[in-house]
Amino acid sequence: MQFNDYLTHYQLAKAGEMGNDFARGLRNITPREFFVGYVHRLDEISRAKFGKPIEQVDPFTPAMLTMETEWHEAGRPYYNLWPSIIPALTKLHMDADSSFFRLPLDQLLIRLPVNDNSLSWEWQGKPYSVRAVLCGNVQLITEVNGKAMSGWAGKQDPALMKRGIAMWIDAHEPLPDAYAGLASNRLHRMMYKHVVCEEGKSIEWSFDNIPAHDSADVGVNYPDQVVRDVARIVCTLCLMAEDKDLVEPIVLRSDEDKFDRTGDLGLVTKAIRRGNYGFNVGRNIECVPHVRSASPAALYWTGPGRKVPRIRFRRGTVVHRKRLASVPTGFLDMEKGESQ
């Protein structure tokens, strides 16, 4: 199974794909040092051209670069979202209070499959699909002087902040013509969305009450249902991260058999040390017609007083990983060039 990857500005700059000026002197620079220098350069350009700091002209780019930097510093953790689980999560009826939603890791990349990706649409005759989602637990500023806001706060007055989850959605949307050729077309315009994780509010509250930024109408039109499905997937992942049947750590290929036999977490640490900090989500979901026709997942209330929400799959949906080898072609066919 192949999954889409996400390349940060830092990775592209180090690879020399953002021009020689960026590549020069980057060999030993850290992601944080790159972030400080890059944002400073953007700020200089913004002040020279518009007479305003970058956060007043474009608040989203510095926020995205901050998220990328923190993701690098966290070891670049990712989830591979297998095709069979996507319809189940998007069909799931979610009535849990959004205050329960918190990503298992403060920064997380969700990689969607190259093929059989249901989060797809067409715009102006061209096909698009959600390739990856870079998300994180953040602090949001949602109101100033009684006016609803739509941006990420960064480091602001704590009294004005509320907890939330920010999402950067990558559909490989091309940059404007002015940026043509930059980073070999591997640098894309992203769709930003967030949900407020506050008691008494639902996922839908954030969509229905936080106004869209003026830039929402620029570029590719993302169907509202696709963006809501992304938010639903991200939030359900918050409630199933501890389910070892659904969220499996990825180890090195040479250690897979040993990990299956022993469950040795040292092999997981070894993979992370080698730069592979990943998890498979829904790899062992049985992909059969009746699963696609109705959601096999449900929200359950667990713990003392049944006050803790968890996502669980109905009996018969989750199968042992070893059974995947016998699944007929056309269901969950493992490819020789599986990307991890």
Lowest mean pLDDT among 7-11, 98-102, 217-221, 266-270: 217-221
Strands in the chain per DSSP E: 78-81, 107-111, 120-123, 126-129, 132-144, 147-152, 161-173, 189-196, 247-249, 278-281, 297-302, 308-313
Three-class DSSP category at 278: strand
In a domain? residue 31: yes
What confidence score (pLDDT) does residue 65 get?
92
Residue 267: is its pLDDT beyond 50? yes
Rounded to whole angstroms, the Cα distance separating 130 from 133 reads: 8
> What is the C-alpha separation between 319 and 144, in angstroms, rounded?
50
Tens digits of per-residue pLDDT, 296-317?
Answer: 777 878 878 777 888 877 655 5
Cα(13)–Cα(34) distance, integer angstroms: 9
Q: Please say whether the beta carbons of 245 and 44 come within 8 A.
A: no
Mean pLDDT score across all residues of the chain: 79
Query: What range defines the domain where residue 130 resides?
Result: 9-246+282-326
Domain membership of residue 252 (yes or no) is no
In a domain, 251, yes or no: no
Asked if residue 150 is part of any domain, the answer here is yes
Confidence band, pLDDT 50/70/90 cuts, at residue 132: very high
In a domain, 338, yes or no: no
In a domain, 313, yes or no: yes
Asked whether residue 99 is assigned to any structural domain, the reply reads yes
| Residue 337 reports pLDDT greater than 50 | no
Structural domain contains residue 162: yes
Query: What's the total number of domains in the chain?
Result: 1
pLDDT at 10 over 80: yes
Residue 191 above 80 pLDDT? Answer: yes
Whether 127 has a pLDDT exceeding 80, the answer reads: yes
Query: Which tens digit of pLDDT belongs to each residue from 23-81?
Result: 566 667 899 998 998 888 888 988 998 999 888 888 888 889 999 999 999 999 999 99
As a 3-state breakdown, the chain gives helix, strand, coil percent values, each rounded to 5, of 40, 25, 40
